[in-house]
Amino acid sequence: MLIATENLSVSYNGRTVLRDATIEAKPGEILALVGPSGCGKSSFLAAINRLTEIIPGASVRGRIRFDGRELETVFPSSVDLRRHVGMIFQQPNPFAMSIRRNLELPLREHGIRDSGELRRIAESALRDVGLWDEVSDRLEQSALELSGGQQQRLCIARALALKPQVLLMDEPCSSLDPLSAERVEQLIDSMRGQYTVLIVTHNLAQARRLSDQVAVFWTQDGVGRIVEQGETEAVFNAPSNPIVASYLSGRKG
């Protein structure tokens, strides 16, 4: 297992939003996290890369293992952890800088200073997300001039440039138009085998197309929990939990 959580709970100012989430993701696997809004999926992702540290009032309990060892031991520093565990947000959030600088700034922050090296990594990351041919002649332009879909692919490239092992994606397609969403989905699909992807999505069809494993989150007594998980096809074809069955068939949620 590359990433495994055990009884992970997240609360904000003492109010628990997610309780006892236990999941496992193998290297190179895509794990979809589905379920209605407000049942702790995003909080779960934020707990993994310790983004909860900068959310006022957030606290996390439970264990996270990375490659079999405690995450705290493998990455005592959050800066280091986030280099190995990248994150993509619902709204594309490129910096208000040039396309090139968007890619190079995080690399510089991680100590890569050689300009040839920076250029090479930036180009290869842009090629990985299929953006190179679209932007190679305007790398100095502001990233904010790109379309929403291009911005999101730039954000993915920016994360990939750091050579992470895990990518956390929080509804990466939901703010995009259908064509851009399809591009991004193909891109995620192509990452299978290279990166371990944990993706939150409200699009059940997408979860089914994309993921190897699925975990269904549900709110019970006001607290988010994982109510079912397993191989994607098995869960979609024969869910054992009746709530999950009606949710996955579109009758609930």
Partner 1 sequence: MRSDRSLTIVTRTLAAISAAIVLLIIGFLLREAAPALRQLGLSRFFTDESWHPLSSQFNLTPMIVATLVTSAGAILIAAPLGIASAVFVNFYAPHRLAVWHRRLIELLAGIPSVVFGLWGLMVLAPIVATFGGSGQNLFTATIVLGLMVLPTVALLSDAAIAALPRPWIQGAAALGMGRSAIIGWVVLPGARRGIGSGIMLALTRAFGETMAVLMLAGNIVEMPSSLLSPGRTLNANIALELGYATAGHRSVLFVSGLMLMLVVSCIVLLISHRRGHQA
Q: CA-CA distance, 25 to 195, in Å (whole number)?
A: 11
Residue 154, interface with partner 1 (CB under 8 A)? no
Q: Does residue 95 touch partner 1 according to CB under 8 A?
A: yes
Among 64, 81, 166, 215, binds partner 1 (CB under 8 A): 81
Q: Can you spell out the DSSP letters for 68-81?
A: TEEHHHH--SHHHH
User: How many residues form the binding site for partner 1 (CB under 8 A)?
Assistant: 25
Q: Does 202 bind partner 1 (CB under 8 A)?
A: no
Indicate whether 109 belongs to the interface with partner 1 (CB under 8 A): yes
Verify binding: residue 153, partner 1, rule CB under 8 A: no
Site for partner 1 (CB under 8 A): which residue of 22, 74, 110, 148? 110
The answer to whether 208 touches 232, Cβ cutoff 8 Å, is: yes
| 158 part of the interface to partner 1, by CB under 8 A | yes
CA distances to 28, 115, 158, 238, 249 from 93, rounded to whole Å, are 25, 24, 11, 38, 33
Alpha-carbon torsion angle 24, 35, 202, 146, nearest 10: -60
- Closest separation between CB of residue 208 and partner 1, Å? 27
Cβ neighbours around 102 below 10 Å, total:
24
| Contacting residues toward partner 1, per CB under 8 A | 49, 51, 54, 56, 78-83, 86-87, 89, 91, 93, 95-96, 105-106, 109-110, 155, 158-159, 162
